[in-house]
């Protein structure tokens, strides 16, 4: 098999992916700094100091505060507040949450192996590692796809949800859906791990590399760089509010 396809993303060079990732991270950090300055009345450091001080308080007013670990586990990861309000909506949220976070974690894990391989540390076969992660990555991708499909159907079929849905909501849902679908297609365009044969939709090496690069670019820019400038920010802001308030029912 061509060396270009030892990489998990399928793009010709890990350096290219790393470059796009660095650009996305810089844009993300700038956006976060702007948000923290806004929240801190013009000072990002003031916001951070107040935030850290509040989450370290053991009591909230006259009421005992649940532990930080319980808040993270029950209120942020398990999202029990949503579960109490609507089990169906909770299932939708968890499918999207687990799918999105899980695929991000797998990508970071393999990026670490790619980095080690690039600088010559460790004796391992990237193809073997990539193929060992493929099944989990595919399951997470289907979870994300199902969750997004439920979100779209709810916005179209339930009048109350439809009335509350704004254009920004559609941008987030449809944008994430496009990334999920292109991810499946990029995976399909890759040659067979054993034979190296091109089997999907008459794909060839140029098409596979181009499509993989497109998928990686829009994933990093939309799912990382765009977060602080969009309603995606609630993924970070909501847990921060929960931490400050001490979680609980």
* CATH number of the domain enclosing 218: 1.20.950
Tokens representing 156? Answer: 């179209």
For residue range 29-88, list pLDDT tens digits in order.
999 999 999 988 888 888 888 888 877 664 444 455 677 788 888 888 998 989 999 999
Percent of the chain at pLDDT exceeding 70: 83
Are the CB atoms for 181 and 215 separated by under 8 Å?
no
Examine the pLDDT at 239 and tell me if it is beyond 70: yes
Both tokens assigned to 62: 């006259």
Whole-prediction pTM value? 0.80
- Number of domains present in the structure of the chain: 1
DSSP 222: I
Q: Over 60: is that where the pLDDT of 185 sits?
A: yes
Return the higher-pLDDT residue of 14 and 51: 51
3-state SS, residue 58: coil
Q: What was the pLDDT predicted at 197?
A: 54
pLDDT at position 112 over 90: no
> What pLDDT was estimated at residue 36?
92
Q: Which domain holds residue 35?
A: 3-56+65-245
Q: How confident is the model at residue 23 (pLDDT cuts 50, 70, 90)?
A: very high
Question: Which run of H or of E encompasses 60?
Answer: strand 59-60
* pLDDT of res. 97: 92
Which one has a higher pLDDT value, 147 or 13?
A: 147
First-last CA distance in the chain? 54
**Cβ distance 173 to 152 under 8 Å?**
yes
What confidence score (pLDDT) does residue 57 get?
60
Give the C-alpha separation, 7 to 215, whole Å. Answer: 14
Residue linked to tokens 């199902």: 146
Question: Sign of dihedral through CA atoms 118, 122, 123, 126?
Answer: negative
């Amino acid at each position: 098999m061509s060396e270009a396809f030892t990489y998990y993303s399928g793009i010709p060079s890990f350096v290219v992916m790393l470059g796009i990732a660095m650009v996305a991270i810089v844009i993300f950090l700038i956006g976060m700094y702007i948000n923290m300055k806004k929240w801190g009345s013009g000072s990002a450091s003031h916001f951070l100091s107040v935030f850290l001080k509040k989450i370290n308080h053991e009591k909230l007013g006259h009421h005992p505060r649940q532990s930080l670990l319980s808040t993270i586990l029950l209120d942020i990861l398990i999202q029990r507040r949503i579960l109490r309000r609507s089990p169906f909506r909770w299932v939708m949220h968890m499918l999207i949450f687990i799918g999105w976070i899980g695929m991000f974690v797998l990508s970071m894990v393999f990026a670490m192996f790619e980095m080690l391989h690039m600088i010559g540390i460790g004796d391992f076969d990237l193809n073997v590692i990539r193929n060992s992660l493929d099944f989990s990555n595919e399951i997470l991708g289907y979870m994300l796809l199902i969750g997004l499909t439920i979100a779209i159907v709810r916005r179209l079929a339930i009048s109350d949800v439809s009335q509350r849905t704004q254009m920004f909501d559609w941008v987030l849902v449809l944008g994430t859906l496009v990334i999920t679908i292109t991810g499946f297609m990029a995976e399909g365009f890759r040659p067979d791990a054993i034979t190296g044969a091109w089997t999907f939709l008459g794909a060839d090496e140029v098409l596979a590399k181009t499509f993989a690069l497109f998928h990686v670019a829009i994933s990093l820019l939309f799912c990382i760089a765009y977060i602080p400038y969009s309603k995606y920010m609630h993924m970070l802001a909501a847990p921060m509010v929960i931490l400050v308030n001490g979680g609980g029912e």
